[in-house]
Chain A
Amino acid sequence: MDLVGVLIVAAVAVGAFALWLVGTALLIWAERRVVARMQSRLGPNRLGPFGLLQTLADGAKLFFKEDITPTNVDRAVYLAAPAMSAVVAMITFAVIPFGGSFEIGERVVRLQVWDPDIGLLWILAMSSIGVYGIVLAGWASGSKYPLLGGVRSTAQMISYELAMGLSLAAVFIWTGSLRSSDIVAAQSGTLFGPIPAWNIIPQILAFLLFFSAAVAETQRPPFDLPEAEGELGAGFHTEYSGAKFAMFFLAEFMNVITMSAVAVTLFLGGPAGPTFGLEGTIWGALLGVVYFAAKVALFLFVFVWLRGTLPRVRYERLMSLGWKVMLPLGLIWTLFTGVVVVLGQTQEQAVIRRYAFPAMAILLVVVLVLSLFGERRPAAADGDGGDPQGSPGAPGGGPSARALEAARASDKRAGAQVGG
């Protein structure tokens, strides 16, 4: 790679970093404003137009505050943990394509920092390493509440990493590639008429699983148990102050943006959108950035909406949801995706790819809802009630049987809880 190539890559990296840092600052402000409106308040509106500079002021305040290091901490780990959280949160974004591509001279510039073969496995790996920042912070603080927060975080991450990995695996099988640019390319075109061929339609359940897991992975409400204020002080960052706390704070919001970006890349076609004949030019690429930002903003709003609406779940409910509902559903969905893909390849029945998944999605959403809300019902909501609704819609025998098993298992659990 010659010098110009290096410069182009550097420029794209700086652009991505800037876009993403500005996005983080805006997210923190927007979350406070939106949640405030949801609670009939105004939110920060004093500093700058609409209070936009509030985040800057808070950041400046945090970085100039006294940086307290308690005596009981394991100093090296204590100092490394926030840096690890922040750095990992930053580099995760590298594999996300945040805009289109355009040509300068004979060079093609793609608005993506890094496009490796392992692609979105990078995201899984980084989000797993990000847990270390939290766990080590909890452990190194030498205090009980951070430790509890760290332990909770570990268990939560392990539980939901599985569901997230399975939902990603379903998308990988469906598109046949781990590379994020390939996944975006596979979602171009349309499915029926004007409906774009985004993965969210055939992979609706994978999307729901991914998004639920993403909320848990980023430790956002209603899954913010590692820093549950009412229970653990401030959780894993109780003993952190000043700049080190700011890093944890930023890492949380950075992770929210990254997870939203991943969701957009995997399920909403990334930067795709109407190009108005600008394809290949720099304006087309920038238009892609706009589409990408808009889709990410949509997800960010949902994150904020969740926070404004839902109370924090109880810890054993969190574990129960992760292991007993999301993991089985993820397994079933991944298997089913594999079966459909293999059938489509062998029998050249493209129609399966079109209709099997919406049908299956409807079935499994019904099962999911039953297992989530069945516990509230009296004994009438048993497996027999759910089966007749689901069976006719199931195109494949094996997977639907598994789904019914899962439904029965969850209902059995519900019965046991009612009985107990």
Chain B
Amino acid sequence: MFTPLRKGFGLTFKTMFRPVVTTEYPDVRRATEPRFHGRHVLNRHPDGLEKCVGCELCAWACPADAIFVVGEDNTPEARYSPGERYGIDYQINYLRCILCGLCIEACPTRALTMTNEYEFSADSREAMIYTKEQLLAPLPEGANPTPHTDAEVAARGIRYYDGHVAQNPLVHLSQGSPTSQPNPEEHGDPVRTALLGGGFEPPDETRADGAADEEGSADG
């Protein structure tokens, strides 16, 4: 008849001498899981170019409508990304964001990924809307800040996207006129080039993915 009492009081008494489960948070910070969905980051290529090509797929994928993107064309004198376009403005509203990661899945260039950082509370609405400057990853060592010129980019000889490009963004340089004025018509010209790691622009009547496959096999 005393068993329930002994068990009950014994349990609470023993628990007093067991380790507590509390993490003293501000003093002790436990590491998150490696794939914890934290704050976003806009990644860069090793040479400092931004990976974001301003496609807005993240904004379209976002269920909370937290992302705002404005795309802009790269020019030979002012190149921000190896793609045709770049994100001139990029904002994430963390009052809306639910950190679900759908934007990460949507991003075609792995420009948008998530960090493990979760301490970004603030006391004003403005402070919770992160701008491109806040989201952009720091420059890699030795890299120059964007914008670069096409000549600089070509001189590095980096194979962006493993050479799988549908349309060579460095079209102006490939025509041998690095200083020529940007001409919208030139973007559509089918030109074979090795500037972006052997990519080439398909003819107008050819599908982009077919061209990429062909190029990939040629490389292999």
Contacts and interface: CB of A to CB of B under 8 A. Distances in A.
Contact of A305 (B1, B12, B19, B24): B12
Contacts of A305: 9, 12-13
B155 interface: no
A36 B2 CA distance: 25
B9 to A, nearest CB: 5
Contact of B22 (A41, A308, A309, A373): A41
A373 B6 CA distance: 14
B207 interface: no
Contacts of A37: 15-16, 20
A39 B15 contact: yes
A330 B20 CA distance: 42
B8 interface: yes
A311 B11 CA distance: 14
A3 interface: no
Nearest to A45: B24
B114 to A, nearest CB: 31
Contacts of B22: 40-42
B18 interface: yes
B21 A38 contact: no
A369 interface: yes
Contacts of A41: 20-22
B12 to A, nearest CB: 4
A373 B3 CA distance: 11
Contact of A42 (B2, B8, B13, B20): B20
A327 to B, nearest CB: 22
A36 B20 CA distance: 9
Contact of B15 (A40, A369, A370): A40
A237 B102 CA distance: 50
B31 to A, nearest CB: 21
Contacts of A310: 8
Interface residues of A, number: 16
A373 B2 CA distance: 9
Interface string A243-258: 0000000000000000
A40 B15 CA distance: 6
Contact of A38 (B2, B12, B24): B12
A365 to B, nearest CB: 11
B12 A373 contact: no
B76 to A, nearest CB: 59
Given A305-B13, A308-B12, A42 B24 contact: yes
A370 B9 CA distance: 20
Interface residues of B, number: 15
A320 to B, nearest CB: 18
Contacts of B11: 309
A308 B24 CA distance: 22
Contacts of B15: 37-40
Contacts of A309: 8-9, 11-12
B24 A34 contact: no
B16 to A, nearest CB: 4
Given A369-B1, A373-B1, A40 B18 contact: yes
Nearest to A307: B12
Contact of A40 (B1, B2, B21): B21
A294 B13 CA distance: 19
A368 to B, nearest CB: 11
Contacts of B20: 36-37, 40-42
Nearest to A36: B20
Nearest to B17: A37
A188 B21 CA distance: 46
A309 to B, nearest CB: 5
Contacts of B19: 40
Interface in B6-46: 8-9, 11-13, 15-16, 18-22, 24
B5 to A, nearest CB: 9
Interface string A5-41: 0000000000000000000000000000010111111
Contacts of A45: 24
Nearest to A366: B1
A186 B21 CA distance: 48
A300 B154 CA distance: 80
Given A309-B8, A309-B9, A310-B8, A38 B1 contact: no
Contacts of A42: 20, 22, 24
A41 B13 CA distance: 13
Nearest to A34: B16
Interface string A193-210: 000000000000000000
Contacts of B24: 42, 45
A37 B16 CA distance: 5
Contacts of B1: 369-370, 373
18 contacts: A37-B15, A37-B16, A38-B12, A38-B13, A38-B15, A38-B16, A39-B15, A40-B21, A40-B22, A41-B20, A42-B20, A45-B24, A305-B9, A305-B12, A309-B8, A309-B12, A370-B1, A373-B1
Interface of A: 34, 36-42, 45, 305, 308-310, 369-370, 373
Interface of B: 1-2, 8-9, 11-13, 15-16, 18-22, 24
Q: Top 4 closest A-B pairs, CB basis?
A: A38-B12, A37-B16, A373-B1, A42-B22
